[in-house]
Amino acid sequence: MPVEQAWATAAPWPEPQWSFAPLGYRPAVHGEQGTAMVPTYAPGLPLLMAVARLVAGPCAVFWIVPIAGAVLVLATFGLGRALGSPGTGLAGAALVLASPVFLFMLMSPMTDVPVAAAWAVAGWLLIGSRGSGAGPPGRAATVRALAAGLASAIAILIRPNLVLGAAALALWFPLRAWRDGPGARPRHLLNALVFGAIASAGALAVAVINDRLYGSPLVSGYGSAGSLFDLANVWANLRTYCGWFVESQTAWPLAGLAAFLFPRRTCWPGTADRTGVVVLLALGAAVTGSYLVYGVYDAWWYLRFLLPVWPMVMLGFGAVALLVARTGRPAAAIVAVLVVWLGLRGVVFARDHNAFRLWKEERRYATVGRLVRAATPPDSVILAIQHSGSLRRYAGRMTIRFDSLDGAWLDRAIGWLADRGIAAYLVVEDWEEPRFRAHFRGQEAATRADGAPVLTYTGPATVRLYDLRALRDPLAAVTAIAETWDGPRCPAAVPLDQPFR
């Protein structure tokens, strides 16, 4: 995973390794001096993508999230069938499928859908094994405990901060041991040890990777736990998450939480006791608690953090809906209309908030990369923020994060590059231009963004390429390119040209 950049230490400005680390990366920690950059994100999703790439080629990495979405929906149905009835599972799975935040994140190669799928599968493997409650556990239960441990380990590798989810699922074993009596306890103990050993392997792997890359088992690429979590965030997050949920899904699905308080036979007739309900509730509490103390964000789609809770909420609503439907045909008709309306409303909300157009927004990275590659020489370095990683992949150009470059060093950095025959360019979106000028205020090269750009790309965002070696005449001709969204949906990466010898 580390990417060596030993030459970065030769740059004369302060902390050069940070400036040569694009978005999503940071310098590695190897003793006192690191010469490599490493990813800031957890290893789980990249490992899954690496396997997909090995099996089916580069474009297969983009199938991980859609496949995980299908798994999440199916596992939700399986949980509902085990806890209540096929009807409960069907209603819950349908509402997960139509959830705006699920549809939004289904279009992005990010961790939210895969981690939700992994936890749902782990829960289904445990709870589904004793849906009827009949008979002591056998060898099949041990196999399911092993598989549930593996799913939990994958979930922890994807999102290490949700490690308490494994502890919540582990409640299954003592609760079942108490329920089934002394004769079943040795098997439950064995199953608990199997589950715990496999799930703990995921946590141990994360600790080893953190220690290797960031210097401590308890420090992630985003920082220490103390810097990421704060009890002072609880109220703000509770208010915003509830508000976003009601905005995107209405308050109706929240009625499903009541199902976890009703008597078992009222809402969960398909299970012999409340063990599975308690375990599912504990998993939801572990996930929710982890994010209530996390940072405070400002967009509705940060509900994505809570996607692992969606099966619990939607299945609870499905259970309440079926309880009402059993009171008579008029009530059943009203419930059916409500469930269909909630699903359709969720899809419309997702459409109106550009969920199905995200691919068009993301396409700009590949298009801009292709344009920059054609407009710049191989021996060049591009200053950027938002495009600092994608330009390496799609343009084959070395990049510098200009927000990580000391504000007093722009002119000298460009001069140092020029002495080595390396041309310096700037790629910025509209919102980044004021930030560039403010960061390098007083530097002569900062004024070169006031001249004419080499090219302008217009699409979901306006992106400009500036030559930082000299001020271009503001009236000079500019190559203007408008996005057409033509070409392959999975553009190929190009080799990275290395200007440093």
3-class SS string, 166-204: HHHHHCHHHHHHHHHCHHHHHHHHHHHHHHHHHHHHHHH
358-378 average pLDDT score? 94
Whole-number CA gyration radius for the chain: 26
Q: What is the pLDDT of residue 500?
A: 83
Residue 129: pLDDT band (50, 70, 90) is low
CB atoms within 10 A of CB 189: 13
Q: Whole-angstrom Cα distance, residue 39 to residue 23? A: 9
**What percent of the chain stands above pLDDT 90?**
79
The domain ranges of the chain are 45-353, 359-482
Backbone angles phi and psi of 39, in degrees to 5: -70, 150
Give me the residues paired with residue 383 across strands. 400, 426
Q: CA–CA separation, 292 vs 285, rounded Å?
A: 10
Average pLDDT over residues 403-423: 96
Average pLDDT over residues 340-367: 95
How far, in whole angstroms, is CA 276 from its chain's centroid? Answer: 27
Residues 319, 256: contact at Cβ < 8 Å? yes
- Residue 189's pLDDT is what? 93
pLDDT score for 31: 45
Chain segment 420-474, per-residue pLDDT in tens: 999 999 999 999 999 999 999 999 999 999 999 999 999 999 999 999 998 888 8
Per-residue pLDDT, 132: 40
Using the predicted structure, report yes or no on whether residue 501 has a pLDDT greater than 60: yes
Give the chain's mean pLDDT: 92
Classified as helix, coil or strand, 456 is strand
- Lowest-pLDDT range of 234-248, 257-271, 402-416: 257-271
Report pLDDT for 134: 44
Model confidence at 268: pLDDT above 90: no
Q: pLDDT tens digits, residue range 150-196?
A: 999 999 999 999 999 999 999 999 999 998 888 888 989 999 999 99
Angle value at C-alpha 421, between 415 and 424, nearest 5 degrees: 55
Mean pLDDT of 380-393: 97
Q: Could you give the CA distance from residue 247 to residue 345 in angstroms, rounded to a whole number? A: 11
For tokens 């692992």, name the residue.
308
Q: What pLDDT is stored for residue 260 in this prediction?
A: 86
Distance of alpha carbon 215 from alpha carbon 220, whole angstroms:
9
Sheet holding 455-458, edge to edge: 398-401, 380-384, 423-429, 462-467, 455-458, 479-482
**pLDDT higher than threshold 90 for residue 477:** no
* 134 backbone φψ class: left, alpha, beta (φ>0; ψ -120 to 50): beta
Q: Strands 455-458 and 398-401, how do they pair?
A: unpaired
Which SS3 state, helix, strand or coil, does residue 463 take?
Answer: strand
Q: What b/e string do you get for 364-373 counting C-beta neighbours within 10 Å, with b at 16 or more?
A: bbbbbbbbbb
Q: Which two tokens stand for residue 485?
A: 């969204």
pLDDT in tens, 140-153: 899 999 999 999 99
User: Which residues on neighbouring strands pair with residue 27, listed in sequence order?
Assistant: 37
Q: What is the DSSP letter of 270?
A: T
- Token pair, residue 64, equals 């991980």
255-266 as b/e, with b when 16 or more CB fall inside 10 Å? Answer: ebeebbeeebee
pLDDT digits (tens, 9 = 90+) for 66-93: 999 999 999 999 999 998 789 999 999 9
- The helix (run of H) or strand (run of E) holding residue 47 is helix 44-56
User: Which pTM value belongs to this model?
Assistant: 0.94
